[in-house]
Amino acid sequence: MNAPLDLGDYLLPAAHPFTLLPGAATVMATIYLLGALRLWRQHRRWSVLRTVSFVSGCAALAAVTGLAVEDYGKALLSVFMFQQLTLMMAIPPLLVLGSPGTLLLRATPHRGVGKSVLKVAHGALRWRGSRWALSPWVALPAYLAAFYGLYIADLLDPVLALPGGHTALESAFLISGILFTIPVLSTDPLPVRMSHGGRALDLFAEAALHAFFGVFLMMATSLVVGTFAESTIALGIDPIEDQRVAGGLAWSYGEAPTLIMILIVMHRWFRHDSVRDAAASRWADAHGDPELDEYNEYLRRLEKGGSA
Protein backbone atom coordinates (compact mmCIF):
# COMPACT_ATOMS: atom_id res chain seq x y z
CA MET A 1 0.00 0.00 0.00
CA ASN A 2 1.30 3.46 -0.87
CA ALA A 3 2.01 6.03 1.82
CA PRO A 4 -0.94 8.36 2.47
CA LEU A 5 -0.86 11.66 0.61
CA ASP A 6 -0.19 14.86 2.53
CA LEU A 7 -0.66 18.54 1.68
CA GLY A 8 2.86 18.87 0.31
CA ASP A 9 2.15 16.26 -2.36
CA TYR A 10 -0.65 18.41 -3.79
CA LEU A 11 1.45 21.60 -3.80
CA LEU A 12 4.23 20.21 -5.97
CA PRO A 13 4.40 21.41 -9.60
CA ALA A 14 2.10 19.53 -11.95
CA ALA A 15 3.47 17.21 -14.60
CA HIS A 16 2.25 19.71 -17.23
CA PRO A 17 1.82 23.05 -15.41
CA PHE A 18 1.59 25.29 -18.48
CA THR A 19 -1.90 24.34 -19.64
CA LEU A 20 -4.98 26.33 -20.62
CA LEU A 21 -6.37 27.46 -17.28
CA PRO A 22 -3.09 28.39 -15.51
CA GLY A 23 -2.19 30.38 -18.62
CA ALA A 24 -5.61 32.09 -18.63
CA ALA A 25 -5.22 32.94 -14.95
CA THR A 26 -1.82 34.55 -15.61
CA VAL A 27 -3.17 36.60 -18.51
CA MET A 28 -6.24 37.77 -16.54
CA ALA A 29 -4.17 38.82 -13.53
CA THR A 30 -1.67 40.67 -15.74
CA ILE A 31 -4.36 42.60 -17.64
CA TYR A 32 -6.19 43.47 -14.42
CA LEU A 33 -3.02 44.73 -12.71
CA LEU A 34 -2.11 46.82 -15.77
CA GLY A 35 -5.56 48.44 -15.64
CA ALA A 36 -5.31 49.13 -11.92
CA LEU A 37 -1.80 50.56 -12.29
CA ARG A 38 -3.00 52.84 -15.09
CA LEU A 39 -5.67 54.33 -12.82
CA TRP A 40 -3.26 54.73 -9.90
CA ARG A 41 -0.67 56.45 -12.11
CA GLN A 42 -3.37 58.89 -13.23
CA HIS A 43 -4.19 59.50 -9.55
CA ARG A 44 -7.64 58.01 -10.02
CA ARG A 45 -9.10 55.89 -7.29
CA TRP A 46 -9.31 52.12 -7.53
CA SER A 47 -9.90 49.81 -4.58
CA VAL A 48 -6.91 47.82 -3.35
CA LEU A 49 -9.32 45.28 -1.84
CA ARG A 50 -10.92 44.69 -5.25
CA THR A 51 -7.48 44.20 -6.73
CA VAL A 52 -6.46 41.73 -4.03
CA SER A 53 -9.73 39.82 -4.50
CA PHE A 54 -9.34 39.43 -8.27
CA VAL A 55 -5.64 38.56 -8.17
CA SER A 56 -6.33 36.04 -5.39
CA GLY A 57 -8.95 34.42 -7.60
CA CYS A 58 -6.46 34.18 -10.46
CA ALA A 59 -3.82 32.73 -8.13
CA ALA A 60 -6.30 30.13 -6.86
CA LEU A 61 -7.20 29.22 -10.45
CA ALA A 62 -3.55 28.79 -11.38
CA ALA A 63 -2.88 26.71 -8.25
CA VAL A 64 -5.84 24.35 -8.49
CA THR A 65 -5.17 23.61 -12.17
CA GLY A 66 -1.38 24.06 -12.36
CA LEU A 67 -0.04 22.30 -9.28
CA ALA A 68 0.07 18.57 -8.53
CA VAL A 69 -3.53 18.78 -7.34
CA GLU A 70 -4.34 18.74 -11.07
CA ASP A 71 -2.55 15.40 -11.49
CA TYR A 72 -4.28 13.86 -8.48
CA GLY A 73 -7.56 15.30 -9.73
CA LYS A 74 -7.26 12.87 -12.63
CA ALA A 75 -6.76 9.94 -10.26
CA LEU A 76 -9.02 10.56 -7.23
CA LEU A 77 -12.68 11.54 -7.21
CA SER A 78 -12.20 13.42 -3.94
CA VAL A 79 -9.50 15.64 -5.44
CA PHE A 80 -11.55 16.11 -8.62
CA MET A 81 -14.47 17.18 -6.42
CA PHE A 82 -12.21 19.64 -4.59
CA GLN A 83 -11.20 21.11 -7.95
CA GLN A 84 -14.81 21.35 -9.09
CA LEU A 85 -15.97 23.04 -5.89
CA THR A 86 -13.08 25.49 -5.97
CA LEU A 87 -13.63 26.35 -9.62
CA MET A 88 -17.39 26.78 -9.22
CA MET A 89 -17.80 28.19 -5.72
CA ALA A 90 -14.56 29.69 -4.37
CA ILE A 91 -12.87 31.31 -7.37
CA PRO A 92 -15.88 33.03 -9.06
CA PRO A 93 -16.77 35.20 -6.03
CA LEU A 94 -13.16 36.37 -5.78
CA LEU A 95 -13.12 37.30 -9.47
CA VAL A 96 -16.55 38.94 -9.45
CA LEU A 97 -15.88 40.98 -6.28
CA GLY A 98 -12.85 42.39 -8.10
CA SER A 99 -15.29 44.27 -10.42
CA PRO A 100 -13.29 43.59 -13.60
CA GLY A 101 -16.04 45.07 -15.79
CA THR A 102 -15.91 48.43 -14.02
CA LEU A 103 -12.10 48.43 -14.23
CA LEU A 104 -12.29 47.68 -17.94
CA LEU A 105 -14.63 50.63 -18.58
CA ARG A 106 -12.58 53.03 -16.44
CA ALA A 107 -9.04 52.06 -17.42
CA THR A 108 -9.39 51.37 -21.16
CA PRO A 109 -8.29 54.32 -23.35
CA HIS A 110 -11.04 55.85 -25.48
CA ARG A 111 -8.87 55.86 -28.58
CA GLY A 112 -7.12 53.35 -30.84
CA VAL A 113 -7.54 49.71 -29.88
CA GLY A 114 -9.13 50.76 -26.59
CA LYS A 115 -12.02 52.34 -28.45
CA SER A 116 -12.74 49.04 -30.20
CA VAL A 117 -12.51 47.14 -26.90
CA LEU A 118 -15.03 49.50 -25.28
CA LYS A 119 -17.33 49.16 -28.29
CA VAL A 120 -17.29 45.37 -27.92
CA ALA A 121 -17.88 45.65 -24.16
CA HIS A 122 -20.88 47.95 -24.58
CA GLY A 123 -22.22 45.70 -27.33
CA ALA A 124 -22.00 42.70 -25.01
CA LEU A 125 -23.99 44.59 -22.35
CA ARG A 126 -26.76 45.33 -24.86
CA TRP A 127 -26.74 41.84 -26.37
CA ARG A 128 -29.88 39.85 -25.69
CA GLY A 129 -27.79 36.71 -25.17
CA SER A 130 -26.13 38.35 -22.15
CA ARG A 131 -29.51 38.85 -20.49
CA TRP A 132 -30.37 35.24 -21.25
CA ALA A 133 -27.08 33.82 -19.94
CA LEU A 134 -27.30 35.76 -16.66
CA SER A 135 -30.96 34.97 -16.06
CA PRO A 136 -31.58 32.84 -12.93
CA TRP A 137 -33.72 30.58 -15.12
CA VAL A 138 -30.53 29.67 -17.02
CA ALA A 139 -27.63 30.23 -14.62
CA LEU A 140 -29.02 28.27 -11.64
CA PRO A 141 -30.10 25.14 -13.62
CA ALA A 142 -26.75 25.11 -15.47
CA TYR A 143 -24.96 25.44 -12.14
CA LEU A 144 -26.83 22.52 -10.57
CA ALA A 145 -26.52 20.42 -13.74
CA ALA A 146 -22.76 20.36 -13.12
CA PHE A 147 -23.54 18.18 -10.09
CA TYR A 148 -26.80 16.33 -10.68
CA GLY A 149 -26.52 16.12 -14.46
CA LEU A 150 -22.94 14.90 -14.53
CA TYR A 151 -22.94 12.51 -11.58
CA ILE A 152 -26.48 11.18 -11.26
CA ALA A 153 -27.21 11.07 -15.00
CA ASP A 154 -23.94 9.16 -15.61
CA LEU A 155 -22.47 11.79 -17.92
CA LEU A 156 -19.16 12.28 -16.12
CA ASP A 157 -17.47 9.04 -17.22
CA PRO A 158 -18.05 9.59 -20.99
CA VAL A 159 -16.81 13.18 -20.82
CA LEU A 160 -13.67 12.27 -18.84
CA ALA A 161 -12.92 9.55 -21.39
CA LEU A 162 -12.63 12.15 -24.16
CA PRO A 163 -9.24 13.68 -25.04
CA GLY A 164 -9.05 16.94 -23.11
CA GLY A 165 -12.25 16.05 -21.26
CA HIS A 166 -10.80 16.91 -17.86
CA THR A 167 -9.73 20.40 -18.94
CA ALA A 168 -13.03 20.95 -20.75
CA LEU A 169 -14.94 20.10 -17.56
CA GLU A 170 -12.75 22.44 -15.50
CA SER A 171 -13.43 25.25 -17.96
CA ALA A 172 -17.16 24.53 -17.87
CA PHE A 173 -17.14 24.48 -14.06
CA LEU A 174 -15.45 27.87 -13.94
CA ILE A 175 -17.77 29.43 -16.53
CA SER A 176 -20.94 28.10 -14.90
CA GLY A 177 -19.75 29.35 -11.52
CA ILE A 178 -19.04 32.81 -12.91
CA LEU A 179 -22.42 32.99 -14.68
CA PHE A 180 -24.17 32.04 -11.44
CA THR A 181 -22.14 34.47 -9.29
CA ILE A 182 -22.31 37.58 -11.49
CA PRO A 183 -26.05 38.34 -10.97
CA VAL A 184 -25.71 37.60 -7.24
CA LEU A 185 -22.56 39.55 -6.31
CA SER A 186 -21.47 41.80 -9.15
CA THR A 187 -21.56 45.59 -8.86
CA ASP A 188 -20.43 45.98 -12.48
CA PRO A 189 -22.79 47.35 -15.15
CA LEU A 190 -25.06 44.45 -16.10
CA PRO A 191 -27.76 43.93 -18.74
CA VAL A 192 -30.08 42.59 -16.03
CA ARG A 193 -30.20 43.33 -12.30
CA MET A 194 -31.72 40.95 -9.77
CA SER A 195 -33.49 42.15 -6.63
CA HIS A 196 -31.82 41.50 -3.29
CA GLY A 197 -34.59 39.06 -2.42
CA GLY A 198 -34.07 37.19 -5.68
CA ARG A 199 -30.34 36.90 -5.01
CA ALA A 200 -30.91 35.53 -1.52
CA LEU A 201 -33.50 33.06 -2.84
CA ASP A 202 -31.07 31.81 -5.50
CA LEU A 203 -28.37 31.24 -2.91
CA PHE A 204 -30.64 29.46 -0.42
CA ALA A 205 -31.97 27.19 -3.18
CA GLU A 206 -28.45 26.38 -4.36
CA ALA A 207 -27.26 25.69 -0.82
CA ALA A 208 -30.10 23.26 -0.09
CA LEU A 209 -29.80 21.33 -3.34
CA HIS A 210 -26.03 21.28 -3.11
CA ALA A 211 -26.08 19.90 0.45
CA PHE A 212 -28.46 17.14 -0.68
CA PHE A 213 -26.02 16.20 -3.44
CA GLY A 214 -23.18 15.89 -0.91
CA VAL A 215 -25.27 13.67 1.36
CA PHE A 216 -26.21 11.53 -1.65
CA LEU A 217 -22.54 10.88 -2.45
CA MET A 218 -21.69 10.12 1.17
CA MET A 219 -24.51 7.58 1.49
CA ALA A 220 -24.01 5.85 -1.89
CA THR A 221 -22.99 2.19 -1.47
CA SER A 222 -21.82 1.75 -5.07
CA LEU A 223 -19.55 3.82 -7.27
CA VAL A 224 -21.29 6.76 -8.93
CA VAL A 225 -18.25 7.46 -11.15
CA GLY A 226 -16.19 4.55 -12.47
CA THR A 227 -13.35 6.51 -14.12
CA PHE A 228 -11.34 6.91 -10.92
CA ALA A 229 -11.71 3.34 -9.60
CA GLU A 230 -8.49 1.80 -10.95
CA SER A 231 -6.26 4.80 -10.21
CA THR A 232 -7.72 5.10 -6.71
CA ILE A 233 -6.96 1.45 -5.96
CA ALA A 234 -3.44 1.91 -7.40
CA LEU A 235 -2.89 4.64 -4.79
CA GLY A 236 -3.95 2.21 -2.06
CA ILE A 237 -7.30 3.93 -1.38
CA ASP A 238 -10.75 2.34 -1.27
CA PRO A 239 -12.83 3.95 -4.07
CA ILE A 240 -16.01 3.92 -1.94
CA GLU A 241 -14.22 5.69 0.90
CA ASP A 242 -12.78 8.20 -1.55
CA GLN A 243 -16.29 8.79 -2.92
CA ARG A 244 -17.53 9.45 0.63
CA VAL A 245 -14.74 11.95 1.11
CA ALA A 246 -15.89 13.65 -2.10
CA GLY A 247 -19.44 13.81 -0.76
CA GLY A 248 -18.16 15.22 2.52
CA LEU A 249 -16.32 17.94 0.63
CA ALA A 250 -19.46 18.79 -1.34
CA TRP A 251 -21.46 19.02 1.89
CA SER A 252 -18.92 20.98 3.97
CA TYR A 253 -16.34 22.82 1.89
CA GLY A 254 -18.91 23.47 -0.82
CA GLU A 255 -21.32 25.18 1.58
CA ALA A 256 -18.79 27.64 3.06
CA PRO A 257 -18.51 29.97 0.01
CA THR A 258 -22.31 29.98 -0.35
CA LEU A 259 -22.70 31.02 3.30
CA ILE A 260 -20.24 33.89 2.79
CA MET A 261 -22.12 34.98 -0.34
CA ILE A 262 -25.41 34.94 1.60
CA LEU A 263 -23.88 37.15 4.29
CA ILE A 264 -22.64 39.62 1.65
CA VAL A 265 -26.05 39.74 -0.05
CA MET A 266 -27.90 40.22 3.25
CA HIS A 267 -25.49 43.00 4.28
CA ARG A 268 -25.99 44.77 0.95
CA TRP A 269 -29.76 44.35 1.24
CA PHE A 270 -29.77 45.89 4.73
CA ARG A 271 -27.51 48.75 3.61
CA HIS A 272 -29.69 49.42 0.56
CA ASP A 273 -32.86 49.60 2.68
CA SER A 274 -31.14 51.83 5.24
CA VAL A 275 -29.98 54.27 2.56
CA ARG A 276 -33.44 54.27 0.95
CA ASP A 277 -35.20 54.91 4.27
CA ALA A 278 -32.75 57.70 5.13
CA ALA A 279 -33.36 59.35 1.75
CA ALA A 280 -37.14 59.04 2.23
CA SER A 281 -36.85 60.65 5.68
CA ARG A 282 -34.84 63.58 4.28
CA TRP A 283 -37.39 64.06 1.52
CA ALA A 284 -40.25 63.99 4.03
CA ASP A 285 -38.47 66.54 6.24
CA ALA A 286 -37.99 68.88 3.29
CA HIS A 287 -41.25 68.38 1.36
CA GLY A 288 -43.60 66.65 3.77
CA ASP A 289 -45.05 63.15 3.69
CA PRO A 290 -48.46 63.06 1.91
CA GLU A 291 -49.55 59.86 3.65
CA LEU A 292 -48.51 61.12 7.09
CA ASP A 293 -50.11 64.54 6.45
CA GLU A 294 -53.34 62.86 5.37
CA TYR A 295 -53.33 60.67 8.49
CA ASN A 296 -52.71 63.67 10.76
CA GLU A 297 -55.54 65.56 9.08
CA TYR A 298 -57.80 62.55 9.66
CA LEU A 299 -56.91 62.59 13.38
CA ARG A 300 -57.64 66.32 13.58
CA ARG A 301 -61.06 65.80 12.02
CA LEU A 302 -61.80 63.04 14.52
CA GLU A 303 -60.73 65.30 17.38
CA LYS A 304 -62.91 68.17 16.15
CA GLY A 305 -65.87 65.82 15.71
CA GLY A 306 -65.46 64.47 19.26
CA SER A 307 -65.25 67.91 20.85
CA ALA A 308 -68.29 69.31 18.96
Q: What is the mean pLDDT of residues 175-186?
A: 91
Is 2 among the domain residues?
no
* pLDDT at residue 286 tops 70: no
- Residue 83's nearest CA partner among 75, 95, 73, 71 is 73
The pLDDT tens digits for 215-257 are: 989 998 899 998 999 999 998 899 999 999 999 998 888 788 8
Is 225 among the domain residues?
yes
Is 1 among the domain residues?
no
- Residue 258's nearest CA partner among 144, 102, 155 is 144
Is 199 among the domain residues?
yes
- The C-alpha atoms of residue 222 and residue 303 are separated, in whole angstroms, by 78
* pLDDT at residue 145 tops 70: yes
Is 24 among the domain residues?
yes
Is 265 among the domain residues?
yes
Q: Cβ of 89: how many Cβ atoms within 10 Å?
A: 25
* Least confident span in 18-32, 169-183, 263-277: 263-277
Is 131 among the domain residues?
yes
Instruction: Give the DSSP per-residue string, 49-76.
Output: HHHHHHHHHHHHHHHHHHBHHHHHTTT-
Looking at residue 308, its pLDDT comes to 47
Number of domains in the chain: 1
Is 200 among the domain residues?
yes
Phi, psi of 13 (to 5 degrees): -60, 145
Q: Decide: pTM greater than 0.75.
A: yes
Domain that holds residue 162: 7-307
